């Protein structure tokens, strides 16, 4: 039984990480195609990627859209969750359902709807339009996480702060937000991840300033290349480094 448990564990990790291992391995391919046999190692594709101005611009655009749209989605989701969790309103169940409903809709449908709306309003495709689209898909996620994390113990602490004379702003900033810190961080970083990887909305709502997934797709139209593997490897390594730093700093302090 113990052997089967270890075999299952190895199989699970292999299933999850084998594509990443293959991606990283063939990013060091010396030849022009990222396929076996392995012909390397070589760092020339990394040098090419880091020296590509369009790729670096797309990388900056992705960071900008992910950080701004996630901050807005988190703020709006927090305010909506706080309002519906603390105030009894007629039809609050329906409102919660409507807020979460976009999570069940395909990104393609949302993107087409936004494209039609922006065309009608005269809004041109841009990074800002893409950011609005990412707020639409991430706001329901932030709301769902934060609403589920709000409990009676927070409500009691808020009530005690108000009885002691704290203003509503102080209650939210000094009581509610610190007590919801793990949920706020989880919602924010999940939103950043989804925005960072999102392709369909970014493809339809950008024109000249594109995000990294759209730029990679443009590169893939001309065929496979170890350069795309190098981009993926760099993004993966940066993500792992950020995750380790967050785990050692913010999340570990939250658990303690």
Query: What pLDDT is recorded for position 186?
Result: 87
By the 10 Å C-beta count (0-12 exposed, 13-18 middle, 19+ buried), 11 is classed as: exposed
Section 47-67 average pLDDT? 87
pLDDT exceeds cutoff 60 at 256: no
Section 41-53 average pLDDT? 84
pLDDT exceeds cutoff 60 at 67: yes
Residue with tokens 């704290």: 166
CA distance 248 to 80: 31
pLDDT exceeds cutoff 80 at 158: yes
Cis, peptide link before residue 41, omega less than 30° from 0: yes
Going by pLDDT thresholds of 50, 70 and 90, the confidence category of residue 70 is: very high
In the chain, what's the furthest Cα-to-Cα distance? 72
Tens of pLDDT, residue by residue over 116-144, are: 999 999 888 889 999 999 999 999 999 99
Section 41-62 average pLDDT? 85
Query: What pLDDT is recorded for position 252?
Result: 64
pLDDT exceeds cutoff 70 at 234: yes
What distances in angstroms separate CA 162 from CA 1, 150, 172, one per listed residue? 57, 18, 11
Query: What pLDDT is recorded for position 123?
Result: 87
Query: In the chain, pLDDT over 70 holds for what percent of residues?
Result: 97
pLDDT higher for 115 or 41? 115
Could you write out the three-class secondary structure of the chain? Answer: CHHHHHHHHHHHHHHHHHHHHHHHHHHHCCCCCCCCCCCCCCCHHHHHHHCCHHHHHHHHHHHHHHHHHHHHHHHHHHHHHHHHHHCCCCCHHHHHHHHHHHHHCCHHHHHHHHHHHHHHHCCCCCHHHHHHHHHHHHHHHHHHHHHHHCCHHHHHHHHHHHHCCCCHHHHHHHHHHHHCHHHHHHHHHHHHHHHHHCCHHHHHHCCCCCCHHHHHHHHHCCCCCHHHHHHHHHHHHHHHHHHHHHHHHHHHHHHC
CA distance 105 to 102: 5
Going by pLDDT thresholds of 50, 70 and 90, the confidence category of residue 76 is: very high
Token pair of 27 as six digits: 């990013």
Going by pLDDT thresholds of 50, 70 and 90, the confidence category of residue 246 is: confident
Tens of pLDDT, residue by residue over 180-216, are: 888 898 899 889 988 988 899 999 998 888 888 888 8
Tens of pLDDT, residue by residue over 11-40, are: 999 898 888 888 888 888 887 777 777 777
């Amino acid at each position: 039984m113990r052997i089967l448990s270890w075999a299952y564990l190895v199989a699970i990790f292999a299933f999850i990480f084998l594509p990443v291992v293959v991606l990283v391995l063939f990013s060091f391919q010396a030849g022009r195609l990222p396929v076996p046999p392995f012909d390397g190692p070589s760092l020339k594709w990394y040098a090419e990627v880091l020296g590509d101005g369009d790729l670096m611009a797309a990388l900056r655009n992705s960071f900008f859209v992910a950080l701004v749209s996630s901050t807005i989605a988190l703020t709006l989701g927090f305010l909506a969750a706080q309002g519906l969790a603390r105030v009894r309103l007629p039809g609050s169940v329906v409102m919660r359902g409507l807020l979460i409903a976009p999570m069940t809709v395909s990104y393609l449908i949302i993107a087409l709807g936004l494209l039609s709306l922006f065309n009608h309003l005269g809004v041109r495709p841009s990074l800002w339009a893409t950011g609005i689209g990412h707020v639409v898909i991430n706001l329901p996620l932030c709301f769902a996480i934060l609403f589920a994390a709000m409990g009676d113990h927070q409500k009691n602490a808020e009530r005690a702060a108000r009885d002691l004379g704290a203003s509503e702003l102080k209650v939210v900033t000094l009581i509610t937000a610190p007590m919801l810190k793990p949920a706020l961080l989880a919602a924010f970083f999940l939103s950043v991840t989804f925005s960072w990887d999102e392709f369909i909305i970014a493809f339809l709502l950008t024109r000249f300033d594109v995000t990294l997934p759209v730029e990679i797709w443009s590169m893939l139209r001309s065929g496979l290349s170890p350069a795309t593997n190098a981009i993926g490897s760099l993004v993966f390594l940066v993500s792992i480094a950020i995750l380790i730093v967050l785990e050692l700093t913010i999340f570990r302090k939250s658990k303690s």
